[in-house]
């Protein structure tokens, strides 16, 4: 009898231990689910608070902008019929008065346009207007606002066209920039409708200022800053870093695929 009782007690212990293990697993799963739900809820709350903050402070938010204050030109938006894998996103932080930004555009713009056309990359343009003191009429900010007016009115492809026009016709630092009338003319050339009031009233200047803050929070300190796969892309020559060219961009794109 004693052996039988011992066996029953051992079996009961095993059953109890098994129940305890299952209970612990259930608690662990429940804890993980609660944590995930809380994280998602906090993320949604943060996003809603950001949007609410923008609305409460009267900041006009342009159509077609990303949540991180940019405009993404996808192959589809650029009119590409290429079908392939998800394109690599090339993030570019620029100031329209920045000479190095024009140099980057002149050298690498055609290469990037080709990569968008063949479906390899998308480009996210971020205005980063840190050269406010480099003109006598706040041109960096006025130009960025005008480009955002175009994006709001006519979409990202038109923004990209305006972006190219502004860099191709970049004024020299130290003086007055392009006039509002010239900016409006370029906006029309880029495909926008009537953005006269938007340009004259600087409708999106507060949003442009937020974009600058967002870039600084993301450790952007100079222009152009080019990021692919979360990494800054530069040209390195004997330890000296400079703006990247097509070769450096190609290498970074292939590494991110």
pLDDT (tens digit, 9 = 90+) per residue, 105-137?
999 999 999 999 999 999 999 999 999 899 999
126 and 46 co-located in one domain:
no
Domain range for 11 is 1-58
122 and 98 co-located in one domain:
yes
- pLDDT score of 39 more than 50: no
| Euclidean distance between CA atoms 168 and 126, whole angstroms | 18
- pLDDT score of 162 more than 60: yes
- Sheet containing 121-127: give its strands across: 71-73, 121-127, 88-94, 225-228, 231-232
Which residues, in sequence order, are CB contacts of 107 under 8 Å at separation 6+? Answer: 243, 245, 246
> Is 218 part of any domain?
yes
45 and 87 co-located in one domain:
no
> Is 64 part of any domain?
no
Task: Name the nearest CA neighbour of 109 among 188, 168, 186.
Answer: 168
Which residues, in sequence order, are CB contacts of 174 under 8 Å at separation 6+? Answer: 134, 135, 136
174 and 220 co-located in one domain:
yes
Residue 216 · residue 243 · CB < 8 Å: no
Pick from 58, 81, 101: which residue ends a domain? Answer: 58
Other C-beta atoms within 10 Å of 252: how many? 21
> Is 88 part of any domain?
yes
> Distance of CA 155 to CAs 48, 82, 190, 212, Å?
24, 20, 10, 21
119 and 197 co-located in one domain:
yes
131 and 213 co-located in one domain:
yes
pLDDT of residue 239: 83
pLDDT of residue 12: 52
217 and 102 co-located in one domain:
yes
Pick from 58, 84, 102: which residue ends a domain? Answer: 58
CATH assignment of the domain containing 103:
3.40.30.10
Other C-beta atoms within 10 Å of 29: how many? 10
| Euclidean distance between CA atoms 254 and 174, whole angstroms | 39
| Euclidean distance between CA atoms 162 and 71, whole angstroms | 12
116 and 186 co-located in one domain:
yes
> Is 65 part of any domain?
no
pLDDT of residue 14: 57
| Euclidean distance between CA atoms 54 and 149, whole angstroms | 17
Is the pTM here over 0.75, yes or no?
yes
Domain count, the chain: 2
8 and 119 co-located in one domain:
no
51 and 148 co-located in one domain:
no
Q: 194, exposed or middle or buried, with CB in 10 Å at 0-12, 13-18, 19+?
A: exposed
> Is 11 part of any domain?
yes
> Is 16 part of any domain?
yes
pLDDT of residue 24: 72
> Is 66 part of any domain?
no
- Choose the most confident range, by mean pLDDT, from 55-69, 80-94, 176-190: 176-190
84 and 23 co-located in one domain:
no
25 and 105 co-located in one domain:
no
């Amino acid at each position: 009898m004693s052996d039988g009782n011992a066996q029953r007690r051992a079996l009961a212990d095993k059953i109890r231990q098994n129940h305890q293990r299952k209970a612990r697993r259930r608690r662990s799963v429940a804890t993980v689910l609660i944590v995930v739900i809380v994280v998602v809820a906090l993320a949604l709350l943060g996003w809603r608070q950001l949007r609410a903050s923008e609305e409460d402070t009267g900041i006009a938010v342009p159509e077609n902008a990303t949540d991180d204050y940019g405009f993404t030109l996808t192959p589809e938006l650029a009119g590409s019929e290429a079908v392939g894998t998800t394109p690599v996103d090339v993030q570019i932080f620029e100031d329209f008065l920045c000479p190095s930004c024009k140099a980057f555009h002149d050298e690498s713009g055609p290469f990037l346009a080709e990569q968008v056309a063949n479906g390899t990359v998308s480009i996210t343009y971020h205005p980063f207007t840190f050269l406010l003191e480099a003109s006598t009429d706040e041109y960096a900010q006025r130009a960025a606002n005008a480009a955002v007016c175009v994006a709001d009115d006519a979409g990202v492809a038109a923004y990209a066209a305006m972006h190219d026009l502004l860099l191709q016709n970049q004024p020299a630092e130290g003086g007055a920039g392009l006039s509002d009338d010239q900016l409006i003319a370029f906006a029309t050339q880029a495909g926008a409708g009537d953005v006269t009031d938007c340009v004259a009233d600087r409708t999106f200047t507060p949003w442009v200022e937020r974009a600058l803050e967002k870039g600084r929070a993301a450790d952007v300190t100079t222009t152009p800053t080019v990021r692919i796969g979360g990494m800054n892309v530069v040209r390195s020559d004997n330890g000296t870093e400079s703006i990247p060219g097509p070769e450096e961009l190609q290498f970074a794109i292939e590494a991110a695929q």
